[in-house]
Structure 1
């Protein structure tokens, strides 16, 4: 191209091609010089104006890029490509109203241009004009039924409108056209996640990750889906993968801390929340999460202070108000705790756990009638939520906890069973086993306990529950084995007491005493059991 220009300095095509060569090499300043040379020779050279505008946009020089499109449009007001590219540039500048006008001009010039209709839909979506966006995507699809981007974007717009099955259908259309379209797999996972079809969300996220292992948000969202399934330990490696992609991804650091908190490892979680806050000191969710962890460690004043800072940044986060109420309650400040719960319920009148907690506080304040109203409100909220999300294991679990507190055992048993059958964590199975045992159904209690120890073999609570059920059935050999396993993997004091009782019952009282001596800091229950065994030995 350079030789061609040397032979004929007025050869605008050579200058234009030289600009393209520089642009492909990433030498954008040199490309602009070449395009300007072409335009000096031929001021109305459309290809040079197009590509100059693209390079200017890539360099962040929006104003001269827009000026280049204006030159093209003055020469030809029906230039669809110029209107569309102008719309794209305005979108990148977050000037969505102006982008809408540019795309509308493009679609007026050519009603069959699918790209212009898709761009119009995207700008309308950004303006939260979702119904109009759907209409634009429909026009794009009518113009080109194989436009996977329009199908995908229409799907996500349906998701924002709460029309979830239609959204999923649109993603399927996009993926039928292009099975390797990562964004459609991601949006499919996100939609499943949003409607609590978490196993399906995991599958879709995994497919997206197969296509792009370098997307930290994908790794994080897959971890979140597992976390929401109660599979806290499994979620952590996925958050860590996100951090391998982007070590500055503060959300993933915080989420590891959240998972550790759920596993009861509150002290360990603090360093992850701290790392998140080191990256983003005003990260309200990390302040809340660290405060909640400190509260769980008994450091209530410190926790309350951080939760307060979180609420200063984001006063509309209902879970932070709930956490503040918990801290205040533990500090004995019941009226302030009640007021914090009022704020949570103003933000989310269907926050079931907040209604339950408010009822508990009002009971302790001596207001039984108002407490009863809170519990009834909570029950109604749970029922309404479960009508909308019948497969939500977490909802069934918390509904069961309330029913258990209200001594409605049969209903609680059904709710715990519904939660565990929908993939809730070990908590539902263990609560179900304990409740069945309490109402005298020992044989039934062994079933969820066995399920818990089978599905979660490193969780000592399943072994402990199985041991209690076996002991109640007189299967002392099994009970002894289960309790010893629970001791091996972490449930030491509680399991040692249960083991001592079993050993006493089979005539091994001395061995039971030896087990109790292994409890480093015996509590009142341990001391009473020790005294009972000694009496049985006549000592």
Structure 2
């Protein structure tokens, strides 16, 4: 870029770096050696040349250089230097030809020698500065031109080059000073006006910059022929740039647009297309500047404003982007793109009511706009208006059945309504026609995730990745499936793949409040230094997003969830309340607030949260289940079962209500009922196939199946992952089937998980071993559970029990005390301690 600016400048200023004509000798040749400026020695040719011969070498070299035969010319100038190393013209012309050949380091040596031979001559010093610029040695170049100014303080070229260098170093204020000096000396310098305008743009002073560019046009206006010629050349460069832009060769196109602007700086099309090229290169800050100048030149044009808004979207400057789109709509209230992009900006901020309004306006103007329909449907889902969302996605399918987004989004809305079977059928219908559609395979995997069928989900994600492995979202979903299976090491690897493909996804998900396991410390125990570091990093991300825009609900929600997982419930509640201040009906915030209140034993307040969700959506399976959990904790197990049955009527394969009902049955001591229920829940409801997976035969548990078959079953439940495994282990231990429970848990242990749920698996393993009277081994299992989760109250109580069985009463009391220090309201820990103290 600098090179192009310099060449243009030299032509305008009448300074053309052509080879100088031969001059009479200024000095006679010295004998022996002459030191070069770099400290080396150039040996004089021992052959004796006449003055006439040396002049002939210079003349012939000049002639060859004019014909563009620079290498041959260099040979002749080199001979002239050897014949007389103190000859200024030989060194100077040597440097010029070396510059033409791109041999700038050598040229600098030659110009340095020439300047040393004639310190009062500025040409060699100026050209040395130009060569240094080509090597991006800015400070040394400025030093050369400062030297020129010490000899000639009114040297226009030197002041101009200083301005260019200051601009290249983003020192726009200094650049303006230099360009002003040029304009004092030459008020009609087109390049100085252009350079000053560019520097003013760098300072955000677009109006003043436009005055400079208008000055260029006025200079041209004094001479109509010059003005027309300048515009013609500018349009020529513009045309070349447009061809390159169309081919996606943005870097090369940018050079041509810049040339056009320098020749004719008020050419709207050059600024506009420069912005497009910069956007193509991902240089959105620069694109915003270019589009802004285009709009200054033509205030009635909406294209530049609209594209400036899009570039601002890329920079996550949502409010600035919305202001641009509003300006477009003031000029053209029916501009579909402006309404659509305004909806996108609102969506990025989580302002979903405004999203729906913006997309509704798009659909008034263009009823078949599938992007707006999809966007509106997604926003309605976030507002828990899932039935309306399904209507939007149905319209997308009606308009174009080949668009996977319509089918996939419809499936997600159906899942939110608890209609997982309909969601699965929706995906299967599309896969019949497009069995290798990556996004639909991923959506099918997400349906499986919603049903906690983690192995099955993993199959779909892996199939999608076989077809296309460069989609970050699929790697994230795969990681979530692996987390559900307790395979956190592999999950972390998947999250790392996602970040490697698209690093920005971390920022985007942070703004949305979604927690990436890699950032949040999946697979790392919370009490470890690494786990703590990762959680601090994620909290910092949320805090930064909140500071940038406190009205975004996503970061508040994400921060609250993370604080809840870190047992910082009071702080988490503050975050959830912030979300609810902005959106009182945000179901995610209500649900998480309810869970936090449940953990704090504030049951009535928790029930209020879940009831609020059920007012919005009476069929919300998660809310029904969470309410059941609270009712069970309040001793209202009958009411809890009623709510769980309602949830299961809505979604018979819902992992959460299945687990909830199993837990209630176990806590009631109905272990056989729990095992029967787990077995029935694990049945596939119907045959499944999807083109590449074989059908799975439905297995029916007969009513008269013997209970012994169930209580001797060591198979891992096919639904609910590690949570259901732990529930089944508890039920088997409750029936004294310790060996069966131990064999089943050992199968799961092969996955070597470090999650919280495997802490529970170690607890269940310890219970099984304890029941087999292998106390030392059971103590090791409880210690393993506590190694994963040091605040696991139940594990401390069980450890106390086994220490008591071993006769280590003092240590047992210490274990019970540790449980009480974590949860002072644990009646079980107080009772165990009191009972032991009575014995002691």
TM-score, length-scaled by structure 2:
0.43
Contact persistence 2:419–2:651 (CA under 8 A): no
| Structure 1 residue 189: Cα displacement | 1.4
Q: CA deviation at 1:182?
A: 0.9
In the alignment, which of 464, 472, 476 is matched to residue 310 of structure 1? Answer: 464
Aligned position for 1:241:
395
Does residue 457 (structure 1) correspond to residue 618 (structure 2)? The answer is yes
Distance, in Å, in 1 between the alignment partners of 2:649 and 2:580 is 23
The answer as to whether partners of 1:345 and 1:355 remain within 8 angstroms in 2 is: no
Determine the structure 2 residue equivalent to 1:387. Answer: 547
Per-residue deviation, 1:167: 1.9
The answer as to 2:446 corresponding to 1:292 is yes
Q: Is the counterpart of residue 339 in structure 1 residue 505 in structure 2?
A: no
Shift in CA distance, 202/281, structure 1 to aligned 2, threshold 3 Å: same
Residue number in structure 1 paired with 2:562: 402
Alignment-derived partner of residue 533 in structure 1: none
Query: For 2:334, what is the secondary structure of its paired residue?
Result: coil
The 1-side partners of 2:263 and 2:566 are apart by 67
Superposition deviation, residue 359 in structure 1: 4.2
- Structure 2: runs of 5 or more not aligned: 1-228, 666-676, 682-726, 732-840
Q: Distance in 2 between matches of 1:149 and 1:208?
A: 17
Corresponding residue of 1:353: 515
Are the counterparts in 2 of residues 292 and 303 from structure 1 also a CA contact under 8 Å? yes
Q: How far apart, in 1, do the equivalents of 2:351 and 2:465 lie?
A: 30
Q: Which residue of 2 aligns with 1:320?
A: 474
Taking the aligned partners of 1:300 and 1:472, their CA distance within structure 2 comes to 29
Equivalent residue pairs, number: 437
Query: Equivalents in 1 of 2:258, 2:479: separation in Å?
Result: 52
Q: How much does 1:181 deviate?
A: 0.9
* Residues 236-245 or 89-98, more deviating: 89-98
Counterpart Cα distance in 2 of 1:83 and 1:376? 52
Higher helix share: 1
Q: Whole-Å Cα distance in 1 between the matches of residues 625 and 493 of structure 2?
A: 39
Contact between 2:416 and 2:620, CA under 8 Å: does it hold in 1? no
Q: Contact conserved, 1:151 with 1:171, CA < 8 A, in 2?
A: yes
| CA shift digits 1:355-382 (9 cap, x unpaired) | 4897453449xx8554444444443333
Q: Which residue of 2 aligns with 1:122?
A: 276
User: Distance in 1 between the 2:425 and 2:389 partners?
Assistant: 18
Give the one of 327, 331, 346 matched to 1:192.
Answer: 346
The 8 Å contact of residues 590 and 610 in structure 2, kept in 1 or not, is answered as yes
Given the superposition, is the C-alpha separation of residues 211 and 91 from structure 1 closer, same or farther in structure 2, using an over 3 Å criterion? Answer: farther
Which residue, 133, 142, 158 being the options, matches 2:296?
142
Given that residues 420 and 447 in structure 2 are in contact (C-alpha distance below 8 angstroms), is that contact kept between their aligned partners in structure 1? yes
The whole-number CA distance in structure 1 between the counterparts of 2:462 and 2:647 is 39
Is 1:418 the counterpart of 2:578? The answer is yes
The aligned counterpart of 1:441 is 602
Q: Given the superposition, is the C-alpha separation of residues 497 and 106 from structure 1 closer, same or farther in structure 2, using an over 3 Å criterion?
A: closer
Deviations 1:198-222 (A, max 9, x none): 3322222221221111221221122
Partner of 1:54: none
SS in 2 for 1:310: helix
In the aligned structure 2, how far is the partner of 1:329 from the partner of 1:470? 29
In the aligned structure 2, how far is the partner of 1:495 from the partner of 1:339? Answer: 29
Please report how far the alpha carbon of residue 337 of structure 1 lies from its aligned counterpart in structure 2 after TM superposition: 3.3
CA apart distance, 1:458: 3.5
Q: Gapped runs of 5+ residues in structure 1?
A: 1-74, 502-517, 527-539
| 218-227 or 177-186: bigger deviation | 218-227
Q: Residues 172-193 of structure 1: CA distance to partner in whole angstroms, max 9, x if unpaired?
A: 1111111111111111111222
| Higher alpha-carbon Rg | 2
Contact 2:368/2:399 (8 A) holds in 1 = yes
> Normalized against structure 1, the TM-score is what?
0.64
- The 1:495/1:331 distance shift into structure 2, 3 A limit, reads closer
2-structure distance, mates of 1:204, 1:152 = 15
- CA drift at 1:449: 3.3
Equivalent residues in 2 for 1:8-19 (5 A)? none
**Residues 135 and 435 (structure 1), Cα distance of their counterparts in 2 relative to 1, 3 Å cut:** closer
Verify: 1:432 aligned to 2:593, yes or no: yes
| Structure 2 equivalent of residue 31 of structure 1 | none
